[in-house]
Structure 1
Amino acid sequence: MFLKKLILAAGLAVALAAPAAAQVIGGSVNMTVDRDDDLSIFAGEVDVRGRIGGELRAIGGDMNVDADIGGDANIVGGDVHVSGTVGGDLSVAGGELDITAVVSGDADLAGGVVHLNSPVSGRVSAAGGLVELDTGFSGGNGIDLAAERMIIRGTVSGNADLTGDDVTIEGTINGDVETYADYVRIAPGASITGVLRHRGPNEPDVGAGATIGGGVEYTNAIYIDDIDFDGLDLDLDFVPAAPVIGAFFVGFYFLLFMLASALMPKGVTRLVGEFRSRPVVAPLIGFVTWAFWPIIFAVGTVLLSITIVGILLIPFWLLAVALVLSLSYPFGAAAIGDLVFNRKGAGLGLGMRLLTTLGVLVLAAALWIQPALGVIGWCVLTWIGLGAWLFALGKREPIVTQPAA
């Protein structure tokens, strides 16, 4: 469920392929809705108002959502404003987030600036450059924040786990607080009913009039941003020739594709078929998902680090991210090879598919003679492969039933 939620929040690829949900695609979407089922939107700018009885899945540039949403809301954009109500969980990733919606479930937020100023019944997990839980915020099940700078002005019921350069608490936290930070400030008038456990190079600054019911436990520790790497000097005297490097990467990606073709031959066939049927939309979806991949990676790492079991899964999450991005490139080459050499769409055998994919990989490697062309080729093949792969997720071959004798 966790990986599925991230995929939905990142690109809506699965949602856009589902016939049961309404799909809205366009450059600019400005609409008032009143519907009982799900809604999926992919557009440059989005302005949605009204009522959505099911789930909302939206991706675009600037996003303004002012609606009563019955289910979950998964939103990715540049500047994102969400108001109204969310009956399920809220997942938002973007550049600047302004959340004033009342959320009945959990809230997972990631962005350069995250501003939350509304009640959240569940747990809040947020990551960003600046995370601000304003005076209108109330959390019903604790918070987990990771940011360069964070300010908590609202009220939290439950424990708080805070990681960042600069942590400021001005509101009320009804529970224990654990901080790993450079600087921690408890403002005058702030209240913590439990214990404040702080790890970092500086003792917490507790203002006059602040109350900490369980007292302060301080552990002197190096904060990660304080580690100085300026003295590290890596001198690599041997640099292989460009053809050797090119041959290595062609072989590496071709080997990955051979393994994928052996393990999931029908999946590769579905993938190239999805690109053939969506030669424009598939790379567009791949581009958007690829562009937001750092945010997806950061959100996934932060959410996994919340629990002990999740921490143990972080290496597998890193491996999954690397595998998806690495396989997308040869999958894109396979899709192009199938389009060029299988014009009738009758299907290629395994041997021919391997041969055409290898040919496209070699041609793409040759483009690196001009670095700009090489970068463009790498990006295009990756976007094609990632988009077609997302469209192919969850699809199965049709079941053929034999007529009764």
Structure 2
Amino acid sequence: MREVDGILDFLEEYDLLRPPESVDDDVRIGRVGPDEQIAEVDWAYLTSGDFVADDLQMASDGGLTADVLGGLGIARSNAELDRRQSEAIPPPWDSCAWYAPMHYYGPRWGIYIREDCLEKLMIEISWFAWDSPRTHKTVLDLRLAAFFVLFLHEHFHHKLEGFGIRLALADRAAPDHYLRYDRAVYRATVGTDDNIEEALANADAYQRLGDQPYHRLLPSAIRRALRRWMKWRFMHVDPPGYRMARHYLTPGKLADGAARLQTQVLEARVAPTSNPAHWQAGPNMLRSVFPITSDIYLVIPPGSTASFRLSARPYTVSVRQARKWLKDNGFAELPGRGKGDHERYERSDGLQVGLDGGARELSRNIERTIAKALGVSQRELRLAVSEGRPL
């Protein structure tokens, strides 16, 4: 996406890119195991009308269907819900999905959702689906609901980073608002009820279930079940910070909380002093800097398969593929010109690029350097290399 390339160039020029090692990235970011696969979700297909018809057969897996339909609607009985409360999964908002911010992860930014969480989550949501029919279609709808609720929570974190980028664009003399907020407010309050970013991410997801495409794709009974489940978690299960979403579940309360959060980012203070009501003059600042229809990834454990159709675009390409592609497209290796395992390649017009010959996968940072030198987006380069064709 050209928008991403432009934002990364801006962040780099103003020294706003920080390696994740510079902070405790476990605070925000989940871990991907060495044998786990990362694959991009085909968002266009996921949000199309063809999704249900084509994937209904996938939902008819016998074991999963029995687990989901077996607990369908049990939360209508308070006694049964109390008994099941000890079976609730750990907070899914940080263990099952995460947003990797551009400020820290550069070209590896994106929304990541763990495949192995979706089944556990849809079973738990099914407890609140007492007005849904006991059909395979309901199982499929619950799986989609589990995915969307995680996506919407993480998308709020992207919107907040977008707000930080807008502040940086407007205030280039002191553009590091987001980084200072992250250190002084988010990380200082994580795990406490003073962390309103996580509360608002939950509340925003709750509200946006009525927006498109979620309103169109999720039956009204499933949306009701999802909101019942979210309220239950906010009231009885979720940890400090996340549970405070219960105070922001109306549009007005959510707007007030968002204004306070924007003021925290502006001042990098837990208790800001400027008037949050002033943000009413700029009501659209807390939103994505571009529509997210890509860079949404499933993290798939070994031996598992994806619940949703995946994009044909690879997450990475190998250094071996990149080396072959360079040679096939007019680059010759310059022996002895790279340090250590690094390799240098030159085209007849003098353009030089480098590879880390000691790595298995082409890193996103090196990929970005090569793409910039060639005047294309990283996505265009990655696809050309994976398909073995010229740009």
Give the TM-score of the pair, scaled to structure 2. Answer: 0.25
Instruction: Give 1 or 2: higher helix fraction.
Output: 2
The structure in which a higher percent of residues are strand is: 1
Please report the TM-score for the alignment, with normalisation by the length of structure 1: 0.25
From the CA coordinates, give the structure whose radius of gyration is larger.
1
Relative contact order (C-alpha < 8 Å, sep 6+): which is higher?
A: 2
